[in-house]
Amino acid sequence: MKKIIIALILVISSINAYSQFDIPKGADKIVIKNDRTAQQNFLLSKQILADNSIEIDKQDGDIHQVKSGKVKLNNYAYYIMLISSKDSLISITGTWANTITVQTSSLSLPPTAYTVRNKGSDKIVFTKMDDFATKFGGKKEYLLTSTK
Protein backbone atom coordinates (compact mmCIF):
# COMPACT_ATOMS: atom_id res chain seq x y z
CA MET A 1 0.00 0.00 0.00
CA LYS A 2 2.84 2.39 0.83
CA LYS A 3 4.42 1.72 -2.59
CA ILE A 4 1.14 2.53 -4.34
CA ILE A 5 0.83 5.85 -2.50
CA ILE A 6 4.44 6.78 -3.32
CA ALA A 7 3.89 5.83 -6.98
CA LEU A 8 0.74 7.98 -7.12
CA ILE A 9 2.57 10.94 -5.58
CA LEU A 10 5.35 10.60 -8.15
CA VAL A 11 2.87 10.40 -11.04
CA ILE A 12 0.91 13.43 -9.83
CA SER A 13 4.03 15.51 -9.23
CA SER A 14 5.47 14.61 -12.66
CA ILE A 15 2.19 15.60 -14.36
CA ASN A 16 2.22 18.91 -12.47
CA ALA A 17 5.87 19.54 -13.38
CA TYR A 18 5.19 18.78 -17.05
CA SER A 19 2.16 21.07 -17.20
CA GLN A 20 4.25 24.03 -16.01
CA PHE A 21 6.06 23.92 -19.37
CA ASP A 22 2.90 23.82 -21.48
CA ILE A 23 2.11 26.97 -23.40
CA PRO A 24 -1.47 28.07 -22.65
CA LYS A 25 -3.85 27.80 -25.59
CA GLY A 26 -4.53 31.25 -26.99
CA ALA A 27 -1.43 32.86 -25.45
CA ASP A 28 -0.44 35.90 -27.51
CA LYS A 29 2.53 37.31 -25.60
CA ILE A 30 5.88 35.82 -24.63
CA VAL A 31 7.56 37.42 -21.63
CA ILE A 32 11.22 36.78 -20.83
CA LYS A 33 12.42 37.67 -17.35
CA ASN A 34 16.11 38.38 -16.79
CA ASP A 35 18.44 40.62 -14.78
CA ARG A 36 19.30 43.18 -17.48
CA THR A 37 18.37 46.85 -17.72
CA ALA A 38 15.86 48.12 -20.29
CA GLN A 39 18.74 49.52 -22.39
CA GLN A 40 20.66 46.22 -22.27
CA ASN A 41 17.52 44.30 -23.27
CA PHE A 42 16.87 46.77 -26.11
CA LEU A 43 20.41 46.33 -27.47
CA LEU A 44 20.18 42.55 -27.02
CA SER A 45 16.91 42.52 -29.01
CA LYS A 46 18.56 44.31 -31.91
CA GLN A 47 21.58 42.01 -31.77
CA ILE A 48 19.51 38.82 -31.77
CA LEU A 49 17.44 40.11 -34.70
CA ALA A 50 20.67 40.85 -36.61
CA ASP A 51 22.20 37.48 -35.68
CA ASN A 52 19.12 35.80 -37.18
CA SER A 53 19.15 37.94 -40.35
CA ILE A 54 15.86 39.59 -39.41
CA GLU A 55 15.59 43.21 -40.50
CA ILE A 56 14.50 45.97 -38.14
CA ASP A 57 11.57 47.92 -39.54
CA LYS A 58 11.31 50.48 -36.72
CA GLN A 59 13.02 51.13 -33.42
CA ASP A 60 12.52 53.59 -30.60
CA GLY A 61 15.36 53.89 -28.11
CA ASP A 62 13.31 56.15 -25.81
CA ILE A 63 10.72 53.44 -25.11
CA HIS A 64 13.11 50.52 -25.86
CA GLN A 65 10.96 48.99 -28.57
CA VAL A 66 11.87 47.24 -31.82
CA LYS A 67 9.56 46.17 -34.65
CA SER A 68 10.97 43.51 -36.94
CA GLY A 69 10.67 43.58 -40.67
CA LYS A 70 8.58 40.94 -42.40
CA VAL A 71 9.78 37.42 -41.60
CA LYS A 72 8.84 35.02 -44.37
CA LEU A 73 6.81 32.09 -43.11
CA ASN A 74 6.27 30.49 -46.52
CA ASN A 75 5.49 31.68 -50.05
CA TYR A 76 2.10 32.93 -48.94
CA ALA A 77 2.55 34.41 -45.47
CA TYR A 78 4.86 36.43 -43.23
CA TYR A 79 4.93 37.60 -39.63
CA ILE A 80 6.22 40.66 -37.78
CA MET A 81 7.41 40.77 -34.16
CA LEU A 82 7.14 43.67 -31.73
CA ILE A 83 9.80 43.42 -29.03
CA SER A 84 9.44 45.68 -25.98
CA SER A 85 12.23 45.93 -23.42
CA LYS A 86 12.03 47.02 -19.80
CA ASP A 87 14.20 46.49 -16.75
CA SER A 88 14.35 42.73 -16.10
CA LEU A 89 11.80 41.99 -18.84
CA ILE A 90 11.40 41.54 -22.59
CA SER A 91 8.01 40.95 -24.20
CA ILE A 92 7.35 39.66 -27.70
CA THR A 93 4.07 39.86 -29.58
CA GLY A 94 3.40 39.39 -33.26
CA THR A 95 1.10 39.75 -36.20
CA TRP A 96 0.93 37.68 -39.37
CA ALA A 97 -0.61 38.19 -42.77
CA ASN A 98 -0.86 36.39 -46.05
CA THR A 99 0.80 37.85 -49.12
CA ILE A 100 -2.24 37.41 -51.34
CA THR A 101 -4.04 40.56 -52.43
CA VAL A 102 -7.65 40.13 -53.52
CA GLN A 103 -8.32 42.27 -56.54
CA THR A 104 -11.35 42.79 -58.74
CA SER A 105 -11.92 45.34 -61.45
CA SER A 106 -13.17 47.93 -58.95
CA LEU A 107 -11.71 46.83 -55.62
CA SER A 108 -8.35 45.82 -54.24
CA LEU A 109 -8.19 44.32 -50.72
CA PRO A 110 -4.74 44.21 -49.15
CA PRO A 111 -3.77 41.35 -46.84
CA THR A 112 -5.32 41.45 -43.36
CA ALA A 113 -3.00 41.30 -40.33
CA TYR A 114 -3.88 38.87 -37.52
CA THR A 115 -2.59 38.64 -33.96
CA VAL A 116 -0.28 35.65 -33.44
CA ARG A 117 -1.72 33.24 -30.86
CA ASN A 118 -0.91 29.77 -29.62
CA LYS A 119 -3.94 28.13 -31.21
CA GLY A 120 -5.15 26.88 -34.55
CA SER A 121 -3.04 27.71 -37.57
CA ASP A 122 -1.44 30.63 -35.65
CA LYS A 123 0.35 28.06 -33.50
CA ILE A 124 2.96 27.56 -36.25
CA VAL A 125 3.95 31.24 -36.07
CA PHE A 126 3.75 31.32 -32.26
CA THR A 127 6.16 28.37 -32.12
CA LYS A 128 8.62 30.25 -34.37
CA MET A 129 8.37 33.29 -32.10
CA ASP A 130 8.85 31.07 -29.05
CA ASP A 131 11.99 29.55 -30.61
CA PHE A 132 13.23 33.09 -31.24
CA ALA A 133 12.45 34.07 -27.63
CA THR A 134 14.57 31.18 -26.36
CA LYS A 135 17.65 32.94 -27.77
CA PHE A 136 17.31 35.65 -25.11
CA GLY A 137 17.90 33.23 -22.24
CA GLY A 138 16.05 33.96 -19.02
CA LYS A 139 12.75 32.55 -17.81
CA LYS A 140 9.86 32.53 -20.29
CA GLU A 141 6.22 33.06 -19.42
CA TYR A 142 3.18 33.14 -21.69
CA LEU A 143 0.25 35.53 -21.42
CA LEU A 144 -3.18 35.88 -22.97
CA THR A 145 -3.66 39.63 -23.39
CA SER A 146 -6.29 39.85 -26.12
CA THR A 147 -9.81 38.47 -26.11
CA LYS A 148 -10.35 38.63 -29.90
> Would you say residue 20 has pLDDT above 60?
no
- Tally of domains in the chain: 1
Higher pLDDT, 46 or 1: 46
> Would you say residue 125 has pLDDT above 50?
yes
One-letter amino acid identity for 87? D
The average pLDDT across 33-51 equals 98
Q: Is residue 6 part of a domain?
A: no
Q: Is residue 112 part of a domain?
A: yes
Least confident interval from 36-40, 55-59, 106-110: 106-110
The pLDDT mean for the chain works out to 86
Domain that holds residue 116: 24-143
* Predicted pLDDT at 14: 42
Q: Is residue 9 part of a domain?
A: no
Q: Is residue 19 part of a domain?
A: no
Q: Is residue 3 part of a domain?
A: no
Q: Is residue 73 part of a domain?
A: yes
Q: Is residue 82 part of a domain?
A: yes
> Would you say residue 81 has pLDDT above 50?
yes
Instruction: Report how far apart, in Å, the C-alpha atoms of 41 and of each of 65, 95, 105 are.
Output: 10, 21, 48
CATH number of 100's domain: 3.30.310
* Predicted pLDDT at 114: 92
Least confident interval from 79-83, 109-113, 127-131: 109-113
* Predicted pLDDT at 110: 75
The average pLDDT across 15-28 equals 67
Q: Which residues of 42-81 are buried (b: 16+ CB within 10 A; e: fewer)?
A: bbbbbebbeeeebeeeebeeeebbbbbeebebeeebbbbb
Instruction: Round to whole Å and give the CA distance between 82 and 66.
Output: 6
Q: Is residue 85 part of a domain?
A: yes
pLDDT band at 147 (very low <50, low <70, confident <90, very high): low
